Amino acid sequence: MSSAKDSLTETIKTVVYALLIAGIFRTLFFQPFFIPSSSMKDTLLIGDFLFVNKMSYGYSQWSCPKVVNFLCPISGRILGSEPERGDIVVFEHPTEHRTFVKRLIGMPGDRVQIRDGVIFLNGEEVTQTPDGMFVETDEKQGAAGRRPACTTTTGLGGECAKEKYIETLPGGRQHSILNIGPTSVDNTPVYTVPANNYFFMGDNRDNSADSRLSAAQGGVGYVPEEYIVGKASRVIFSSAGKRLVYFWTWRKDRFFKALQ
């Protein structure tokens, strides 16, 4: 009986130690993240799996997993470094506490405005260069089973197309963006980003809830620095199906793909 108890005790200890190590690793270093929506197409696709680098920007209360968030009584950020314009950043929604991934467009103190779908930063136009069309299959995508938004489509199972551009931010960083058509956020007032806050946008510009709208309007508004979780820089794995075990839906060309 004593031997059985000792064996059970050792098993419990092993499980507890494993959970502690995994929790520490996830809190301090890398957090796994699946892309659930199309807001960052074509940079990130539904079903992409990546690790968020938490060491990039330091740590805050939201560096801890949500279920034990209360164990991170951190005010602001510690060991922090400022993210750079153009980074792909994972952060917590300031009021809904859902995890988002977007591109950093506006730094603290910046003036940001959208005119006819084009960003103006501090009064200067951010260049968009036509780059053909982004074409995908018009079909249900991911676990939610949503069909993509299209400029033109040949119907379910056919081609879904939208305009693609290369956007060049101040400093020369470039990335791909998509345009579906005119929307209510293609023209905005001038936003002045408050101190210690950031302005984010999705690369799929017409299908992204981001800083162009406040949280009350269905967006995210300005994001305080303490809600930043980390930086996304590489896709590790990608699946176009509803389940990872559907190996025939794996996107092999996206394994370990670097992000721009």
Tally Cβ neighbours within 10 Å of residue 221.
Answer: 20
The CA-CA-CA angle for residues 74, 79, 84, to 5°, reads 110
Q: Has 102 been annotated as catalytic?
A: yes
Distances, alpha carbon 148 to alpha carbons 45, 83, 92, 156, 180, in Å: 11, 30, 25, 10, 10
How many CA atoms within 13 Å lie on the side-chain side of 240?
14
From 38, 39, 208, 238, the catalytic residue: 39
Phi and psi torsions of 66, nearest 5°: -60, -35
From 102, 162, 231, 257, the catalytic residue: 102
Q: Which residues contact 99 (CB under 8 A, 6 or more apart)?
A: 33, 90, 91, 92, 93, 229
Rounded CA-CA distance 131/91 in Å is 29
Burial of 27 from C-beta contacts in 10 A (0-12 / 13-18 / 19+): middle
Q: Which residues contact 238 (CB under 8 A, 6 or more apart)?
A: 45, 47, 48, 49, 250, 251, 254, 255, 257
Q: Please tell me the total number of residues recorded for the chain in this structure.
A: 260
How many CA atoms within 13 Å lie on the side-chain side of 23?
14
Which residue type is seen at 175? Answer: H
Which residue numbers are catalytic? 39, 102
